[in-house]
Amino acid sequence: MGLSVSLMGPRNALAASNEESTLKLTPEICITGDENQACEIRIELQWRLAKNELVCILSDNNAYPKWCSESPEQHEITMNVSTLSDIHFVLVSKETNQTLAGAKLKITSTSQPQVRRRYRNPWSLF
Amino acid sequence: MYRTLFILLAALSLPSIGMAKEPCVTKDECIEMRNWDLGVAIGWGQKTNPLRDFDDIPVFFIPTVAYYGEHWFFDNGNLGYSLTEQKYFSLNLVTSYSLDRAYFYRWDPSNIFLKRSSQEEARLLSANTALSSEPDPVFNSLESRNFTMLGGVEAFIYSPLGVVRLAYTHDMFNVHQGSEAQIKWTYGWHLTRWVMDMSLVFDWKSTNVVGYYYGVRPSENDYWSKHYHADAGWNKGIEMTARYILTDNWDLLFAFRYTQLADEIAASPLLDQDYSSTYFIGAAYRF
């Protein structure tokens, strides 16, 4: 999955037949000093599955193409990310391509638009 | 006004978002600086016109236009400069314009997005006073009531019980050389997708303002020009606005305003109602 993916060792199966599949992203927010500055961060994706199966992870960022697990025992990956915008990750079944879960890396900057109190009701003009 | 008191008591029993722990707390009371905030509400409403035989004013559109800089701001026709913004109060220099002229003129800024309501449409005849000993308030063509901007100072006080606005403004262009003042209390709620606020408003208008807009000129009616004497007075009103959030951009908008005109204004023979009310129901889009 991209240039900086490193696979973590297998963990115990986290599946439970009556659970929904989940995808956990750590961290979920990357804070940059400026909105034109790319977020460069190492993230971890962990998933729990309703049934043990092979999965793939997709994103809406072309820099991070589809990645698929090669063992049903694998439940996490780590990767280095460099991005200016949010990235939405989706966990899908490798076999059926069914969407199982999603997670979003939110990029925010300390120079977000400033706000101040508005002194009039927006609909006062009537 | 018992209804007003009831609404006030009901309001105080609901959870509040009105308290200001910081200069700007919730999305609804904040605006992004250095960015135009534009929106339009489309729907149906009506504004009653207290002027004798002038038509009520249908409301089809309500625009919202605002721009806030570091200190300067423009908000729905009001230009302002913030002298200080603190946790519990703000102090601004502001301009405003009187709503009184809007009853007379279609193209008053308050009416730009409303359907025509003008002297030309008025019938200016009334038979309602047939039993009165005074002559019928029948007027020749009304003289001009010119537009003017008011300038002055406003203060906002933030507390857990809502926001109080105190304002004093004076005619900047020597049109009527009058002054206006306002005491306004606003309380807001946020319940899931509903955002509501209610205000009680007390507007004071000086003798010059009342006389200029509601006084009778000799050319209009000689008798009433001598027998109606304008005086300063307080209008009292209630304003309610409710929004139901549909999406990030779309809201349903419900708005209601009621103004009980000061006795000194209601006494003018130009009027046949002592109040003005406005309602609007529509869909609002924020760009």
> What would the 3-class secondary structure string for B76-141 be?
CCEEEEEEEECCCEEEEEEEEECCHHHHCCCCCHHHCCECCCCHHHCCCCCCCCCCCCCCCCCCCC
Write out chain A residues lying below 8 Å of B63, CB-based.
125
Give domain status of residue A87, yes or no: yes
Cβ pair A117:B39 closer than 8 A: no
Write out chain B residues lying below 8 Å of A120, CB-based.
66, 75-76, 78
- The boundaries of the domain holding residue A30 are 19-109
pTM higher than 0.95: no
pLDDT digits (tens, 9 = 90+) for B224-233: 888 899 999 9
B117 pLDDT more than 60:
no
Give domain status of residue A72, yes or no: yes
Residue type, B156: F
Give domain status of residue A3, yes or no: no
Write out chain A residues lying below 8 Å of B31, CB-based.
115-118
Residue A100: alpha-carbon gap to chain centroid: 13
User: Mean pLDDT over residues B91-108, rounded?
Assistant: 84
Enumerate the H helices of chain B as residue ranges.
2-12, 207-214, 222-227, 263-266
The sign one gets for the Cα dihedral B218, B223, B227, B228 is: negative
pLDDT digits (tens, 9 = 90+) for B145-169: 888 999 999 999 999 999 999 999 9
- The answer to whether B124 and B69 are in contact (CB under 8 A) is no
- At B224, list the tokens: 């009433």
Report the residue from A115, A122, A123 with minimal CB separation from B33.
A115
Write out chain A residues lying below 8 Å of B278, CB-based.
126
Report the residue from A116, A123, A126 with minimal CB separation from B24.
A116
Question: What is the total count of domains within chain A?
Answer: 1
Residue with tokens 């990956």: A77
Model confidence at A98, in pLDDT bands (50, 70, 90)? very high
Write out chain B residues lying below 8 Å of A114, CB-based.
32-34
**CA distance linking residue A72 with residue A76, whole number of Å:** 11
**Which of B19, B25, B28, B29 is best to mutate for the A interface (most A CBs within 10 A)?**
B29
A100 pLDDT more than 50:
yes
Report the residue from B31, B76, B110 with minimal CB separation from A115.
B31
**CA distance linking residue B73 with residue B154, whole number of Å:** 13
Q: CA–CA distance from B248 to each of B20, B37, B69, B76, B287 (Å)?
A: 24, 14, 23, 21, 10
Give domain status of residue A13, yes or no: no
Residue with tokens 């190492």: A42
- At A91, list the tokens: 């966990």
What is the number of alpha carbons within 13 Å of residue B158 lying toward its C-beta?
A: 22
Write out chain A residues lying below 8 Å of B23, CB-based.
116-117
Cβ pair A114:B31 closer than 8 A: no
Phi, psi angles (nearest 5°) of residue B223: -60, -50
Looking at residue B264, its pLDDT comes to: 95
Give domain status of residue A86, yes or no: yes
Peptide bond into A27 cis (omega under 30): yes
| Strand pairing class (A99-109; A29-32) | parallel
At A75, which CATH number?
2.60.40.2470
State the complex-level ipTM.
0.79
Cβ pair A119:B39 closer than 8 A: no
Superfamily of domain B2-127+143-286: monomeric porin ompg (2.40.160.40)
Model confidence at B11, in pLDDT bands (50, 70, 90)? very low
Looking at residue A93, its pLDDT comes to: 94
Give domain status of residue A103, yes or no: yes
Give domain status of residue A121, yes or no: no
Model confidence at A99, in pLDDT bands (50, 70, 90)? very high
Residue type, A14: L
Cβ pair B255:A120 closer than 8 A: no
pLDDT digits (tens, 9 = 90+) for B17-39: 333 334 565 666 789 888 999 99
Looking at residue B221, its pLDDT comes to: 85
Q: CA–CA distance from B89 to each of A74, A82, B80, B160 (Å)?
A: 57, 43, 16, 13
Give domain status of residue A125, yes or no: no
